[in-house]
Amino acid sequence: MLAQLALALLFLFPSYAAQTTPPSTQGSQSPTNRPHVDQSIVVGAHLTPEEAEEGRINDIYQPMYKLLQTGDCDGIIKTAQSVVIPAAEQAKFETVRKKFLFLGYRSIGDCTFKAKEFAEAEQTYIKALDYADKEDSSYAITFESIALCRMAEQRLEGAEAPLRKAVALLGEEITRLKKSDSYDADDIVTNDVRGDQDVALLYLAVLCFRQQRSSEALLLLDQAYEQATKFQARAQIIKLIVDTGRAIATAIGDDAANAIWTKRAPISN
């Protein structure tokens, strides 16, 4: 995920356009201790018919999973369209069918975004939403991806609603999962979701800046920074929040805000 965060700067500084990458490949890069829709299932001796079907299609999906690790977008799209999606469409169990259809369309969307075919990527992400697990953070992140497509096409007016939806959904997931309102190193899953929300807040702040709502943008960055530092988000996330805060403060000539953001620095983790 962290390699994709530089995408936010694309919408602040056009010179970053050449570095554009998919907004979300969390499915293939999430920590192994975080539940996610693309985790392989453990095949045991006594399986229900649904578990057996999931295992069978999971075996079909594995070559695409390996392609996701290497970022081979030509292979990802070909495998998703010719193998994974057709197999998923034939699944008898709805949960199995939706899981692998989501993974197929989500991966195609990420690769299409990487190719800067933003309109096509947006439509693919919208299609993926039909199959998403609404209690998995990938559902919220897909709304975020839709917003980024619109931002990349300069359709700023249509980007705010899906970004706010992503922030809200991630907040609901944090509420469901959290063990405490204080930092707990063992609450790994919740802290990971908090990091996702920090990134969504960052993108929303960039959007507000682009819409000449700089005060709101800085408030959103304050919110992201406070949560990121309180719950010890990865240093790269905090750095990008700080860098964006300084960039916005400098752009609008707000010396007081610039002084605040200049004093802030990533924690060591």
DSSP state of 268: P
Instruction: Say whether both 223 and 123 belong to one domain.
Output: no
Residue range 241-261, pLDDT digits in tens: 999 999 999 999 999 999 999
Q: Cβ contacts of residue 91 below 8 Å, gap of 6+?
A: 53, 57, 97, 100
Full-model pTM = 0.84
Instruction: Say whether both 179 and 123 belong to one domain.
Output: no
CB 139 within 8 A of CB 133: yes
Q: What is the pLDDT of residue 46?
A: 79
pLDDT-based confidence at residue 121 (cuts at 50, 70, 90): very high
Residue range 129-176, pLDDT digits in tens: 999 999 999 999 999 999 999 999 999 999 999 999 999 999 999 999
**Does 155 reside within a domain?**
no
Residue range 175-185, pLDDT digits in tens: 999 999 999 99
Coil, strand, or helix at residue 264? coil
Listed residues 113, 133, 153: the one ending a domain: 133
Instruction: Say whether both 268 and 170 belong to one domain.
Output: yes
Q: DSSP alpha helices (H): ranges in 42-187?
A: 49-70, 73-79, 85-89, 94-114, 118-129, 137-152, 160-177
**Does 159 reside within a domain?**
no
Instruction: Say whether both 170 and 269 belong to one domain.
Output: yes
Rounded to 5 degrees, what are φ and ψ at 51?
A: -65, -40
Instruction: Say whether both 171 and 229 belong to one domain.
Output: yes
Domain that holds residue 83: 21-28+48-133
Instruction: Say whether both 111 and 174 belong to one domain.
Output: no
**Does 138 reside within a domain?**
no
**Does 5 reside within a domain?**
no
Count the domains in the chain.
Answer: 2
Instruction: Say whether both 170 and 255 belong to one domain.
Output: yes
Q: Is the pLDDT at 12 greater than 60, yes or no? A: no
- Distance between CA 57 and CA 45 in Å, rounded? 17
Instruction: Say whether both 251 and 171 belong to one domain.
Output: yes
Instruction: Say whether both 269 and 172 belong to one domain.
Output: yes
**Does 61 reside within a domain?**
yes
- Distance between CA 84 and CA 102 in Å, rounded? 10
Listed residues 81, 109, 133: the one ending a domain: 133
Nearest to 91 by CA among 51, 125, 38: 51
Q: What is the pLDDT of residue 44?
A: 52
Q: How far is CA 268 from the centre of its chain?
A: 23
**Does 255 reside within a domain?**
yes
CB 156 within 8 A of CB 143: no
The answer for 266, left when phi > 0, alpha when psi is -120 to 50, beta otherwise, is beta
b/e per residue 211-228 (b: at least 16 CB within 10 A): eeebeebbebbbbbbebb
Instruction: Say whether both 214 and 260 belong to one domain.
Output: yes
- Distance between CA 235 and CA 131 in Å, rounded? 33
Instruction: Say whether both 63 and 121 belong to one domain.
Output: yes
**Does 143 reside within a domain?**
no
CB 212 within 8 A of CB 244: no
**Does 239 reside within a domain?**
yes
Instruction: Say whether both 129 and 172 belong to one domain.
Output: no
